[in-house]
Amino acid sequence: MAHADPDRVVAVMGPHILTADALERASNRYARELLARGVHRNDLVTVSLPNGFEMLIVCVAIWKAGATPQPVSRGLTPDEQRAVVATAHPALTIGLAVDGVPVLTQGHAPGADLDDSTLPDAWARSWKAPTSSGSTGRPKVVVATAPALLDPDAPVAAFLPLRGTQLVSGPLTHSAPFTYAFRGLLTGHRLVLLPRFDEHAWLDAVERHRVTWSLVVPTMMHRLLRLPETERGADRLESLETLLHLGAPCPPELKRRFLAWVGADRVVEVYAGSESNGLTMIRGDEWLRRPGSVGRPIGGTQIRVQRADGTEAEPGEAGLVWMRRGDSSTYRYLGAPTRRTHDGWDTLGDVGHLDADGYLWITDRDDDVIIRGGEKVYPVEVERVLEQHPSVRSAVAFGVPDDVHGQRIEAVVDIGDADVDAETLRAFAATVLDRPRRPARVRIVREPVRDDAGKVRRRSFAGPR
């Protein structure tokens, strides 16, 4: 890429640009510094940097050194960071310091005397080792079994074109933005980087840079649709060819409005996890015929839904969703046991059902289900209702211990700068939810309750207050 077209702009951030030649030379110098500091082939290198050119240069350098980048969210607590690093045993950390582990700080500049010419070919057995979001417990390291090799002329996925201008607004330390941004970069995308998601900045970037592809999550979709209609004219999205959304269950009413704004044929939803152990896909116009579905399996994936006793559920019957993709595992965990069976079936821990035509619906995570008086309540049901209130930007529902019912439902609601009280929101929820599903308590906050990847750790809200 750098030799064929050295002046090609591969990334943009604000008024600054990064060319193919600049990326090549900077990553070559950084890779040589990593090697000089004792990084060996197939080592993990922990990276916790904000969105920016440094993150691109560092990860490309790690690959050139024959090692594997292990991105870690900047939102983890110090205890969680230490636990992840202790599990990963990286040769080096970049952007986060943990006692006893060599570190390069954010903004570190390799010596100017380091050679910036092409390095000898080297590739790691694993191309990435993302840290799970921790939404189902403590974060764990997910080491991909795919090697750090890529054919730049072969499409990575049906929903990721070889060429394009990709807007990156989610954190590059999270698995999905990391995967699609770097796969795009290495097959010819120009990346437009935002430091974090902001609905105004996102729309401005799409319009100014003629963005053709972007990844969003339901929280982003909700915030975009809250903008005044005068600010989100359809002409501002004229360049977009594909909008991919994933990361969390999307409320059907939110998606219906989003499709009407963007255009159903340009929106694709994918259901998958950091483990890449299976995936489904559905296009917007297909979704309108089966609202709420996350699609049918693609990429050699098989899916089945099981009851608690291990028997196969009937079409329309909810159970634990299991997937199988190929004969060998696509990942291995560090610091956690896998649920993969001897014959290759695996689960992300989600509850859902299949219809008679093989379309999948996801209800919620099995671990997040609230049992109130013996009745199952899915937090997502409560969150979707609260988020329909015009003053609510996002909501998180969870169960807390209750002496009478076993658990009761509480919620934390982000209202931004709106003026609404907790009792008004409880009353609003009561007009839609039956008594067992109504939150007993609503707590108001004015900051996001989900990260920029759309993830939330409900246990952190349900703990001591």
Residue 135 has a pLDDT of 47
Residue 125 has a pLDDT of 96
Q: What is the DSSP letter of 311?
A: P
Are the C-beta atoms of 393 and 416 separated by less than 8 Å?
yes
Higher-pLDDT residue of 181, 374: 181
pLDDT of 11 higher than 80 = yes
Percent of the chain past pLDDT 90, that is, above it, reads 68
Q: Kind of pairing, strands 267-271 and 213-216?
A: unpaired
Residue-averaged pLDDT of the chain: 91
- 104-134 per-position pLDDT tens digit: 999 999 988 899 999 999 999 999 999 875 5
Query: Residue 251 half-sphere exposure, CB side, CA atoms within 13 Å?
Result: 19
pLDDT of 136 higher than 70 = no
- Say which range, 36-45, 53-62, 209-218, 383-392, has the weakest mean pLDDT: 383-392
- Give just the sign of the alpha carbon dihedral 328, 331, 334, 336: negative
**CA triplet 433, 461, 372: central angle to 5 degrees?**
40
Q: CATH assignment of 369-462, given 3.40.50.720, 3.30.1390.20, 3.30.70.20, 3.30.300.30?
A: 3.30.300.30
- Give just the sign of the alpha carbon dihedral 144, 149, 153, 154: negative
Distance CA 305, CA 353 (A): 6
- 65-89 per-position pLDDT tens digit: 999 999 999 888 888 889 999 999 9
The pLDDT-based confidence of 1 (bands split at 50, 70, 90) is low
Residue 459 has a pLDDT of 67
Residue 331 has a pLDDT of 92
Distance set, CA 295 to CA 131, 301, 378 (Å): 26, 12, 21
Decide: helix, strand or coil at residue 306: strand
Distance CA 392, CA 422 (A): 11
Mean pLDDT of 374-392: 86
- 404-439 per-position pLDDT tens digit: 778 889 999 999 889 999 999 999 999 989 888 899
Domains of the chain, residue spans: 9-149, 369-462
Are the C-beta atoms of 213 and 183 separated by less than 8 Å?
no
**CA triplet 168, 171, 176: central angle to 5 degrees?**
75
The pTM assigned to this predicted structure is 0.85
Fold classification of 9-149 is: Rossmann fold (3.40.50)
Residue 75 has a pLDDT of 82
Decide: helix, strand or coil at residue 185: helix
Residue 465 has a pLDDT of 44
Q: Angle between the 20-36 and 53-64 helix axes, to the nearest 10 degrees? A: 60
Mean pLDDT of 158-177: 94
